[in-house]
Amino acid sequence: MLKVLIPTIMLFPTIWLSSPKWLWTETTAHSLLIALVSLTWLKWTSETGWAVSNMYLATDPLSTPLLVLTCWLLPLMILASQNHINPEPISRQRLYITLLASLQTFLIMAFGATEMIMFYIMFEATLIPTLIIITRWGNQTERLNAGTYFLFYTLAGSLPLLVALLLLQQSTGTLSMLILQYSQPCTLQSWGHKIWWAGCLIAFLVKMPLYGVHLWLPKAHVEPPVAGSMVLAAVLLKLGGCGMIRMMVMLDPLSKELAYPFIILALWGIIMTGSICLRQADLKSLIAYSSVSHMALVAGGILVQTPWGFTGAIILMIAHGLVSSALFCLANTAYERTHSRTMILARGLQMIFPLTAVWWFVANLSNLALPPLPNLMGELMIITTMFNWSPWTITLTGTGTLITAGYSLYLFLMSQRGPAPSHIMGLSPFHTREHLLMVMHLVPVLLLITKPELMWGWCH
Amino acid sequence: MADYKEAYLATRPKTLDPAEYFNLSPDYRRTEEERAALRSRLKRHYLVQLNNPHRKELIEDPALTRWTYARTSNIYPNFRPTPKTSLLGGLFGVVPLFVLYFVFKTDRDKREDKIKAGNYERPYKLSS
């Protein structure tokens, strides 16, 4: 763990001491090296459930793929931000990369945490750099509204979590997940205990987001610059998923009855947010709502608490993280050229950017869960486990899959096909950097087809 | 309007055709002239931007901006709870949650009773 954490902390001196000519090269190279070192975590040598570095930082089959995803994403974020940050003075550029690096540090410590309270503190700490990125570097005036919604929805959800964790500490004497996984399932009957159950989960459900409390997500994904959108979609939503899987271990007997409202909200949310996607005029907003739809599937898979559910949830989280981030990068390429997120403005792009049309194609096919990509494998496992939970869910999840295919194809056809309008002809061609960015997003997704055991959680 | 001249290679609009001109009322003539002046001003603005050799960005279309604003950011201020919208909101947002809760609960309770009575036959052999 330290072999990744210390280089990440040393990223701060790298940022502030590099000469301006070499800043972006050095930070990209440094973060790429961290990403390559983090791949060593994938070699699983521990006999126990956890590969423990010390008492407070450990990796297990749930957090390992998420940690590798987080470390992989930092060089991609820095690559993607080069163009739009370029006009700004050098110290502001350094500040921007510092925010990304600090976000990375908090995320590594959050995913690697063994104490629930450390997870909670890091969970909250990631809010601050993200808030600064959204409200300071966003492009429209709505960014203030977006930052407010983002901050206060998440805080309102996580304050009950703090209280619940303190109560747990009071009753069991420890919050270390290494110990809590062996605690006895407690019979909890009273209303207070039910509220405690809800308090444990609501923070993560707001973060994921669940359908009823998802309102912060379209705003918070649309307003920030590309790096903010990438990290939000790819990693921060998965913090909620990871937290939920961790908490589920301790919440067992009550969850059978109390999970119903949330499972139903998640399932209905798949259909509702999918349908909203079909009505969107704004490109990034469509990708944001599709994130809600996929994460609702993940939430449903986690809440039914079966091994297949957890496995499907982890696979879908990783695959969705990479693909959603890729889509935001593609949307950013269109935004940098037309300075507008309107879909009908940047249409017919296939005629002018044929290679980019390939990336759009692959990213949209991944989004609609084409076999044999891991998106489908995760969705299929979750749909199967929900079918086992109750056969009637297949109506909702099946319709949801259909609508997902519908809006993904709509996105592809709207942006790529059709006659190219005359104002598109003069757009500047694609940089190698942008193609590299897309390859680095999509090749891991394709490679994960060959070795999905890396993502299977505890089922290997 | 006697000294209106068409642009080179353009055609005279029908509303300013002198053959019909004197049959029209002065009000109608005035409004048509104003509209033609507005249109030509907008067209000139667009053509100036189009042919500017130093232009690097897209020409902004104000109609598209207004449409986008209306579709994305201006929805809630124009929302009003009417019987129709309340019915739609309830039908798609509230009722399905209760219907689904009812469906899933009865289905799973039936299965739970069968398991407790020992009658439930497992349809699939799933590993671990």
Whether this prediction's pTM lies above 0.95 is answered by no
Q: Are residues A81 and A205 in the same domain?
A: yes
Q: Are A75 and A142 contained in the same domain?
A: yes
What residue type is assigned to position A430 of the chain? F
Task: Give CA–CA dist A158/A160, Å, rounded.
Answer: 5
Which band of pLDDT confidence, cut at 50, 70 and 90, is reported for residue B127? low
Q: Is residue A46 part of a domain?
A: no
- Give the pLDDT score at A418: 87
Same domain, A360 and A214: no
Residue length of chain B: 128
Average pLDDT, chain A: 91
Q: What is the pLDDT of residues A149-165, one digit of tens each?
A: 999 999 999 999 999 99
A437, part of any domain = yes
Q: Both A243 and A269 in a single domain?
A: no
Final residue in a domain of this structure, among A252, A279, A304 = A252
Picking from A217, A252, A287, the residue at the C-terminal end of a domain is: A252
How far apart CA A53 and CA A35 sit, in angstroms, is: 19
Q: Do A401 and A365 share a domain, yes or no?
A: yes
Lowest mean pLDDT among A37-51, A309-323, A389-403: A37-51
pLDDT over 60 (residue B1): no
Q: Do A242 and A300 belong to one domain?
A: no
Which residues have a Cβ under 8 Å from the Cβ of A410 and sit 6 or more positions away? Answer: A277, A278
Final residue of a domain: which of A227, A252, A277?
A252
Q: Does B68 touch chain A (CB under 8 A)?
A: yes
Cβ–Cβ below 8 Å for A272 and B92: yes
Q: Are residues A211 and A181 in the same domain?
A: yes
Q: How many CB atoms lie within 10 A of CB A18?
A: 18
B108 to A307: CB separation less than 8 angstroms, yes or no:
no
Which one, of A299, A222, A274, lies nearest residue A401 by Cα? A274
Backbone angles phi, psi at A161, to 5 degrees: -65, -40
Could you tell me which residues come within 8 angstroms of residue A148 by beta carbon, excluding any fewer than 6 positions away?
none
- Residues of chain A in contact with residue B110, where contact means CB-CB under 8 angstroms, are none
> Looking at residues A49-60, what average pLDDT do you find?
84
| Cβ <8 Å between B100 and A268 | yes
Q: What is the pLDDT of residue A428?
A: 87
Whether A422 is in a domain gets the answer yes
Q: What pLDDT score was predicted for residue B28?
A: 84
Same domain? For A228 and A272 the reply is no
Q: Does A337 lie in the same domain as A226?
A: no
Beta bridge partners of B54: none
Residues A219 and A355 grouped into a single domain? no
Same domain, A331 and A203: no
Smallest CA–CA separation between B28 and chain A, in Å? 36
Residue contact A260–B67, C-beta within 8 A? no
Whether A142 and B73 lie within 8 Å, measured CB to CB: yes
> In which domain, by residue range, is A87 found?
1-41+54-252
Kindly state whether residue A47 falls inside one of the protein's structural domains: no
Q: What's the structural domain count of chain A?
A: 2
| Residue A48 covered by a domain | no
Q: Is the predicted ipTM greater than 0.85, yes or no? A: yes
Residues A284 and A374 in one domain: yes
Task: Give the torsion sign (CA, A367, A373, A377, A378).
Answer: negative
